[in-house]
Amino acid sequence: MNNIEIKRSTLKAFEHMPRRTELTEAREIFSNSLLLLLFILSIVLAIGGIFVPNVFQIINLANVLRIVSIVGLVALGETLVLLTGEIDLSVGSIMSLSLVVGGLLLDHGSGWALAVTLMCGLLLGLINGVAVAFGKVPSLIMTLGTLSVYGGLANVTAVGQAKYLYGLDLYLWTGKGYILGMPVPVVIFLSMIIICFLFQTFSKPGRTIYYAGANNLAAYYSGISVEKIKIGVFGLAGLFAAMAGPMYASQTNRVTPLQGIGFELSAIAIAVLGGTSIEGARGNVIGTLLGALIYGFLLNILSLSGIGTYMEQVLKGAMLIIIVLVFQNILGRRGNP
């Protein structure tokens, strides 16, 4: 009796919502499953290993993991924003601007430079958050605007020049150093993932992110402060982007205002690859971790096989589209954009 009643109600739901059948439920479980991602990762590594055995060289592995962690950190922030049903296109520009502003203090030593970089990122992210949460500006437009504004400010501040990082050992260490035998970026990335995971699963604000992302209004009526959540995630996105900045800049020993370009693309691609939905309320940070690994290794394999930088750009763009196409459609989605 119970099952039949529920199926009847499913019928009534047809008129207003997309259908749900046993097949959709199965797909859903599979899409939530991190097993799928691990599976994809192994395939990528296996096939890549056959064609480009260099992949498994220690030096290469260390490099890849470094880059994976850097981009993954930005993607982590983006994941949190996406979960609330918003989007942040400005993470790349936040990285550039925070790097440049921090770069102004390089003469005072790595410590100050790094501290200012982080604060700057947090602040820029919070600006996004406040505008979206209180000003009610759609996040698409807001972050499109700040992408422009922050990027422009970065260039204006840097006056078109680069600042070199020679002698700034602490700064360079964030990108090139090691902790307990592992590259610093990897350690930081993993720690952030773990912290976010614990936060998400066990703390009150963490659990309410999904609910708020699913239905802002219902969350409000249930006593949840959706504003605080949104400001928080945008702030974190900015902070993480700013964290990743020095790590990235260290790789080339210099800080330039154009270093953040393209990170938003990768961040979104990795988040979606990891199972986060653009519409919000679906996805989790562990998925982002695996997504970053897949993305990173895929690009590494492709570049090891000798495609140029331009081709890499083309492929990144193509991957974004394909990833969203596959993950949003084939693995089930709700409603229309």
Partner 1 sequence: MVEKALLEMKGISKAFPGVQALKSVDFLLRKGEVVSLIGQNGAGKSTLVSIIGGIYLQDDGKISIDGKPVNISNPAVAEELGIGMVHQEPTLVPNMNISANVFLNRELLHKGMFLDFRSMNEQTINVLNQLGFKLDPETLIEDLRLVEKEVVEIAKAMLVKPRILILDEVTAPLNTDEADHLFNLVCELKSKGMAIIFISHRLTEVVQISDRIVILRDGRNVGELLREQDPSEKDIIALMLGQNAFETHVDTGSIGFDGEKVLSVANLSKKGFFEGMNVDLHAGEIVGMAGLKGAGITEFMKAIYGALGTDAGQIFVRGGLVGIKKPADAIKHGIGMLTNDRQKEGLALQRGVEENITISSLDILSNKLKFFRTRSLGIQAAKLIKSLSIKTPSLRQEVMNLSGGNQQKVVLAKWLLRNLDFILIDEPTRGVDVKTKTEIYKLLIELKKAGKAILLASPEILELISICDRILVVDSGRIIKEVQRGSASFNEGSILEIMHVDHLSPSCRVGPIGALI
Partner 2 sequence: MEDEQAIKQNIMMELVKKNALLLVLLSLVAIGIASSSSFFTPYNWQNILISVSTLGVLALGQTAVMLLRQVDLSVGSLMAFAPIAAISLTEATLSLTGTKVVQGGNYVTDGLFLIVVFTWVVSSLVGWLIGLVTVKARVPSLIVTLGMLYILRGTAYIFSGGHPMYLTRLKGFKWLGTAKIFGFVPMCFLLFLAIAIMAILLLKYTRIGPRMYATGNNEKAAVYSGVNAAFWKIGAFIFSGFCAGIASLIYSSRLESVEAAQATGYELASIAIVVIGGTTLEGGRGTMFGTLLAAIILGLIINIISLIGLVIWYQTIIIGLIIIAAVFLYLRKVRRRELIG
Which range binds partner 1 by CB under 8 A, 104-112, 116-124, 137-145, 221-229?
Answer: 221-229
Closest separation in Å from C-beta 285 to partner 1: 16
3-state SS, residue 99: helix
> Using the rule CB under 8 A, which residue among 281, 290, 293, 298 binds partner 1?
281
Determine contact, residues 95/259, Cβ cutoff 8 Å. Answer: yes
Place of tokens 């529920």: 6
306 touches partner 2 (CB under 8 A): no
> Judged by CB under 8 A, does residue 138 bind partner 2?
yes
Q: Is 134 in the site for partner 1 (CB under 8 A)?
A: no
Out of 64, 71, 73, 131, the residue judged to bind partner 2 by CB under 8 A: 131
CA distance 116 to 315: 34
Binding to partner 1 by residue 26, rule CB under 8 A? no
Of residues 96 and 276, the one with the C-beta less far from partner 1: 276
Least distance to partner 1 from the beta carbon of 225, Å?
Answer: 6
Residues 6 or more apart whose Cβ sits within 8 Å of residue 272: 82, 278, 291, 320, 323, 324, 327, 328
For residue 178, what are the β-bridge partners?
A: 183
8 binds partner 1 (CB under 8 A): yes
For the CB of residue 195, give the shortest distance to partner 1 in the complex, in Å. Answer: 13
Residue among 144, 172, 158, 145 nearest 97 (CA): 158
User: Would you state the structure tokens that stand for residue 7, as one six-digit string?
Assistant: 């199926």
- Please give the angle made by the CA atoms of 56, 59 and 61, to the nearest 5 degrees: 45
Least gap, CB of 26 to partner 1 (angstroms)? 13
- 5 touches partner 1 (CB under 8 A): yes
Residue number, 27 or 207, with CB nearest to partner 2: 27
The two structure tokens encoding residue 171: 């700064």
Q: Does 334 bind partner 1 (CB under 8 A)?
A: yes
Span from 2-10, 106-114, 144-152, 184-192 in contact with partner 1 (CB under 8 A)? 2-10
Is residue 17 within the footprint of partner 2 (CB under 8 A)?
no
Number of residues assigned to the chain: 337
Q: Who contacts 156 (Cβ-Cβ below 8 Å, separation ≥6)?
A: none
Q: Are 254 and 163 in contact (CB under 8 A)?
A: yes
CA distance 118 to 114: 6
By CB under 8 A, name the one of 105, 119, 214, 261 that touches partner 1.
214
Q: Which of 142, 174, 182, 141 is nearest to 242 (CA)?
A: 174
Residues engaged in binding partner 2 (CB under 8 A): 87, 89, 131, 135-138, 140-142, 144-153, 155-156, 262, 265, 268, 278, 308, 310-321, 324-325, 328-329, 333, 336-337
